[in-house]
Amino acid sequence: MAILCPSTAIYHLLFSFLLLFFLCYVSNTPVYGAAKDGYHTLDISSLLPKNNYSAPAGGLAGGLPITYSYGPCSRSGQKKSPSRQQIFLQDRSRVRSINAKIFSQYSTQESKDDWSLESLPSSNKVGDFLVNVGFGNPQQTLDLSIDTGSPTTWIQCNSFLLEKCHNKKNCNFTPSLSSSYYNGSCIPSTDTTYDISYEDGSYSKGVFGCDEVALKPDVLPKFQFGCSRDSGGDFGASSGILGLAQGEQYSLISQTASKFKKKFSYCFPPIEDTQGSLLFGEKAISASPLLKFTRILNPPSGLESRKYYFVELIGISVAKKRLNVSSSLFASPGTIIDSGTVVTHLPTAAYKALRTAFQQEMLHCPSIPPPRQEKLLDTCYNLKGCGGRNITLPEIVLHFGGEVDVSLHPLGILWIYEDRTQACLAFTGKSHPSHVAIIGNRQQLSLKVVYDIEGGRLGFGNDCMGLSPSPNVWAWYGLKWVYNLIRGICLLIASDSGYVFHTLHNTP
């Protein structure tokens, strides 16, 4: 019996059914591709770094490499990570600083016992992510901290007054070695000097300069940045700040708007022996096969700062069970996503509901008190008693407006200690009711996070490290395979019969 190729109309009807199936499937599948039936079953050793650098399985995608500020991938030479106490104290300091900048009057009612500024380490930048950026002609490359909460990009320049260069080689920019450097502002109606102070007492001040900046593969002329001549405090492995906040005309986002259309994305690596990536422009979106977008919101009325990225967090699920908390909890005074805050700070009622639900799902692991002097995380477990090498962990999903469901990487759920025997829930409650909720970088690990500022939207993509493709990705590639199979059969029969399907020339 002869095999008849379907007509164009029948062909497109068939493909429409396949597409409808795919869209229905994707609409109910969270970003990242979580574990089966709402649980992760994982080998703890697979979530901890090895002693050597591992090339990314797909994380770079042609962008700027992102590394931890310490560990085998770090170019700083710092192999040992900061202590947990340092990281947690620093996290609280950053949260205070963010809220001080957002609100016109910062509340003085917050308890200041063990979290007083006097007890904080001097650095504002402990434990963050670094990206390698080139300045000048010829290029001088520097490792900068990624900061979505700062509009100002500044780097350490020679002749600054710090006594040491953070034990790094080539950590300063030397203006005299660049043939294209211009001392002063190259943006009309902006200052020629800058002075930035952080809540913990560290600071940077100097002059603005203009020069080429290399955001691979692009090289941009006449980029204005701060050239630090006087810095106080230890900024760790960083040689400055790459400011990715919105708003100010001298921000990187504004200066590169004509080139990159106010679009960028990053992928934070989940462990220290891997690299992530930072992308700018249309490729920040096109490099990911599937993205789900929620809105970037305007700050609530009465808040002064518009540089932070407010998002519409509306709920949380644990093991596929939605927490019984109102979305209004996250809306007043608002929720931001931040690259420098470490763990996620939730409204107290939401955090208590999350903690209770998580504890109910972790009854197979013996609970333990949190370590002394570590007050940030309070829900901890002895992993030795969880039933062997592999443990079962409930999936946690963040729900955003626009039907965007983001399933977190296991390391965005548990903070696993170095000895591999203890771990704590990597969330905390807000320290003051008036504070904004903050989605920290721990919960962003291994996710593709896309900022489309011009479009007013924030996107989340699948596992950006290429470590475990989500069901969304498999469905997409499966759909393309079926499409191409049908198309190939039709074209083969059409070529034999002389019939041409003009509408089948473009493959998605």
Residues in the chain: 508
CA 188/CA 211 separation, integer angstroms: 16
Burial of 425 (0-12, 13-18, 19+ CB in 10 A): buried
Active site residue 147: yes
* Region at 361 (left for phi over 0; alpha for psi -120 to 50; beta for the rest): alpha
CA 430/CA 427 separation, integer angstroms: 10
CA 448/CA 90 separation, integer angstroms: 25
Q: Is 493 helix (H, G, I), strand (E, B) or coil?
A: helix
To 10 degrees, what angle do helices 471-497 and 8-27 make?
Answer: 180
Number of H helices, E strands in the chain: 8, 29
Beta strand 291-297 with 182-183 is unpaired
Beta strand 427-429 with 344-346 is parallel
What letter would DSSP give residue 466?
Answer: S
Cis peptide before 30 (omega within 30 of 0): no
Nearest residue to 102 (alpha-carbon basis) of 243, 334, 297, 304: 304
- The answer to whether the CB of 170 falls within 8 A of the CB of 193 is no
Cis peptide before 347 (omega within 30 of 0): no
CA 119/CA 197 separation, integer angstroms: 18
CA 507/CA 483 separation, integer angstroms: 8
The one catalytic residue among 128, 338, 405, 452:
338
Q: Is 199 helix (H, G, I), strand (E, B) or coil?
A: coil
The one catalytic residue among 128, 143, 147, 405:
147
Question: 């649980």: which residue's tokens?
Answer: 39
Strands (E) in 191-275, as ranges, are: 193-197, 203-215, 218-232, 240-243, 263-267
CA 149/CA 451 separation, integer angstroms: 13
CA 315/CA 328 separation, integer angstroms: 10
Active site residue 114: no
Question: 């050597």: which residue's tokens?
Answer: 52
Q: Which residues are known catalytic residues?
A: 147, 338
